[in-house]
Structure 1
Amino acid sequence: MQKITIQSDFTVFETLNELDQEIQNLFNHAEKARQKAYAPYSNFLVGCALLLDNGEIITGSNQENASYPSGLCAERTAIYYAGAKYPEAKVVKMTIIAGSINQVTASPIPPCGACRQAVFEYEFKQKTPIEIYFKGEEGQILKSDSLENMLPLTFNSKYL
């Protein structure tokens, strides 16, 4: 038997002001998208903004449904739209902002497992990492240099 250790590394920023203007702009887009979320069941609003290598910014928000599995997270809304509208473009950066209507969310909210898998599919397809920044409504921002960093034991087409 052998034991292995898997490590993920993140950069922590205390405020948005520590980030460059490009990322601050992406967070502004994510916040605007968050305000368009449809979340009458969870009261948890999420916005996402993607920067593509062609300069386009794509946004998405979570969209719930009374039949819970039928809803879609902000990250998948954005990345699937980017893939449909700009199939040849690469996703370079992603920002996510999330929080509850019921209370202030002051800690970084990472993508759920389904979103991590979906975003990794695009990272794997484009053969370049996607920088991911995520935060709550206030407080620290975490940055991952790639989705693979957040999901180190990935499942992809090489297993099929």
Structure 2
Amino acid sequence: MGAVQHLHDGRTVKFQVNRDVFSEAVSFAVKLLPQRTTLPILSGVLIQAEGDGLVLSSFDYEVSSRTEIQADVEEPGTVLVSGRLLAEIAGRLPNAPVRISTEESRISVACGSATFTLLSMPVEEYPSIPEIGEQTGVVPAEEFASAVAQVAVAASRDDVTPVITGVQLEVRRPT
């Protein structure tokens, strides 16, 4: 079952967000979640509500993702929710603002006439997401995607020998 947890005991997390923006952000965060994991906590999406927006993150000890979106944050805080379950719900919400609030170990997702309640996952057990250093270069997204697509077909899908499932990436300064 899905889940969410308060970072601060006794505090309620509350925010409202555009349905399409939220659904797209959840889909992005969930894309990299492992299909099977020995650590169920890694199937979660971390939602940090603060200021005028949300940060949605996922991390499986190999790859992390992070996306920021605007939201009307009434009560700031951090929650951890089952990514796949949240994505399933977000994709089926009616076209109306999404209101999310937590109380105790539950999170309520309300949108128009639809209401869902999810159970919690403990934020304190979630691994620290690595900090990304300074940007060292820029590559146009289309060119990067095209280059990866050309070589990724040769990578093995057999994870018995992980080294042959990768694609080598070399970064050089232009001469």
TM-score (norm 1): 0.30
More strand by share: 2
Greater relative contact order (Cα < 8 A, sep 6+) = 2
Of structures 1 and 2, the larger Rg is shown by 2
TM-score (norm 2): 0.28
